[in-house]
Chains A and B, each alone.
Chain A
Amino acid sequence: METESYTNGGVAKEIGVANKQTIRWNDFVLRFLAFVVTLVAAIVLGVSKQNELVPVQLVPTLPPINVPASAKWSHMSAFVYFVIVNAIACAYAVISLVLSLANRGKAKGLSVTIILMDLIMIALLYSSVGAAAAVGLIGYKGNTQVRWNKVCDVFGKFCRQVAAAIAISLVGSILFLLLVLFAMLNLHKNRRH
């Protein structure tokens, strides 16, 4: 190793400079955007509620009775999971923003831990998008084979809000994906050749 530094003195200096502690702006911007987007997705689904009067035919001879029914996100466990995961991702985006600003490449262990948590957030966010989309699709089209009726013809506004929240959370998941890819690119650039 000593001979290496002796012969490659100039190159070692360049490597030392390349590893200087800089704020990676794309990391900072992506984390901030991810915070905003996941917050919006959680809120859009969290305030989704619709009350409707559903005509129910109890007896064929009598006219249908209007029964008040409501559609809330808390009725469906997949939507509860969606809101919880987006809230966790939002909180994590803030914490990791602060940590990566404080770290700025100093402690490698912290950088690797942040990348690991980013990966876990990718998995959680994508699974919540998949779950909410699957349930939303059943509510939209129904499933005649198992006698699950569609819900969206009655609760149109609720279904539109769910669709919007899913689309926004998909953007948030892609932001987390880009975070990991950029971190990987940064590691690849800074490695010793």
Chain B
Amino acid sequence: MASEPEKVVPPVEAPVAEPEKAALPPSTTRPTDYFAVADVVLRLLVFASALVSVVVMSTSKETEMLPYPRPAKFTESPALIYFVAALSVAGFFSLITTLGSLYSLIKPGCCAKIISHFIVIDVLLLGIVASATGAAGSVTYIGLKGNTYVGWGKICTLYGKFCRYLGASIGVSLFASVMLVLLVLLSVYSLSKKIPK
């Protein structure tokens, strides 16, 4: 009679252990679900702001009548051309990574290795977008304030709409770089949570 409860107990333990083991994977993936959703949202924001920046700067053309019609376009300054090119690259790569992490959200655990490589792209994009923002920002600032030491006059008093478009584009790319910082921080935080204490 004493052996019977012993025989009863191990079979009860095994089914208890199995639901625990079966319950473990969903409970460990549920916190990372929030990370995956936030990941997709941030990447989408980066792509959207890169797209908006490129479009706004490409359409910033203003023609003023000095004695002859003089247009102001972004193609006149190499720094602004670099800005448009860099943000186009950033938009392209952020689109690819958005689609990748969206696919990983829909089918969890499919391509974790590739997704873990996306963070390298994010850090590189941060450098590129930050340098483009700095370059365009410095040129626009000179256009706004001028520089009396070297005799560079301000152009924003004449081309107001052009300067406003430039300013808006640079502001949006600044937002894109902040989003990229948050994106990398999110990946770092989710990785650090997986490290055992």
Chain B, range 112-150, C-beta contacts under 8 Å to A? 116, 119-120, 123-124, 126-128, 130-139, 141-143, 145, 147, 149-150
Q: Is the CB of A126 within 8 A of B123?
A: no
The answer to whether A126 and B196 touch across the interface, beta carbons within 8 angstroms, is no
Q: Which A residues are in CB contact (< 8 Å) with B177?
A: 123
Minimum CB–CB distance for A125 against chain B, Å: 8
Query: Which secondary structure characterizes the binding site on chain A?
Result: helix
Known: A78-B138, A112-B189. A181 touches B152 (CB 8 A): no
Residues 69-118 of A at the B interface (beta carbon under 8 Å): 71, 75-78, 81, 108, 111-112, 115-116
**B96 adjacent to chain A (CB < 8 Å):** no
CB distance from A72 to the nearest CB of B (A): 8
> How far does the alpha carbon of A128 sit from the alpha carbon of B138 in the complex, in Å?
9
Q: Are B119 and A184 in contact (CB under 8 A)?
A: yes
A21 at the interface (CB under 8 A from B): no
Contact between B149 and A138 (Cβ–Cβ < 8 Å)?
A: no
Q: Tell me if B6 is interfacial: C-beta within 8 Å of chain A.
A: no
Q: Does A3 contact B (CB under 8 A)?
A: yes
- Decide: A131 near B135, CB < 8 A? Known: A146-B76, A151-B150: yes
Say how far B170's CB is from chain A's closest CB, in angstroms.
11
Docked Cα-Cα span, A183 to B82, in Å, equals 30
Contact call A127/B185, Cβ cutoff below 8 A: no
B138 to chain A, nearest CB (A): 4
Chain B residues positioned under 8 Å from A177 (CB to CB): 123-124, 127
Report 28 cross-chain contacts, Cβ distance below 8 Å, ordered by A residue: A3-B17, A71-B150, A75-B149, A77-B141, A77-B142, A78-B138, A108-B195, A112-B185, A112-B188, A112-B192, A115-B188, A130-B130, A130-B131, A131-B135, A131-B137, A134-B139, A135-B139, A143-B77, A145-B76, A147-B153, A148-B151, A183-B188, A184-B119, A184-B120, A184-B187, A184-B191, A187-B191, A192-B194
**Chain B residues close to A by CB (< 8 Å):** 17, 20-21, 24, 72, 76-79, 82, 116, 119-120, 123-124, 126-128, 130-139, 141-143, 145, 147, 149-153, 155, 177, 181, 184-185, 187-189, 191-192, 194-196
9 A-B pairs besides A131-B135, A192-B194 with CB distance below 8 A are: A115-B188, A116-B188, A123-B130, A130-B130, A130-B135, A134-B134, A145-B72, A146-B143, A188-B116
Residues of A whose CB lies within 8 Å of any CB of B are 3-4, 12, 15-16, 19, 71, 75-78, 81, 108, 111-112, 115-116, 119-120, 122-124, 126-135, 137-139, 141, 143, 145-149, 151, 173, 177, 180-181, 183-184, 187-188, 190-192
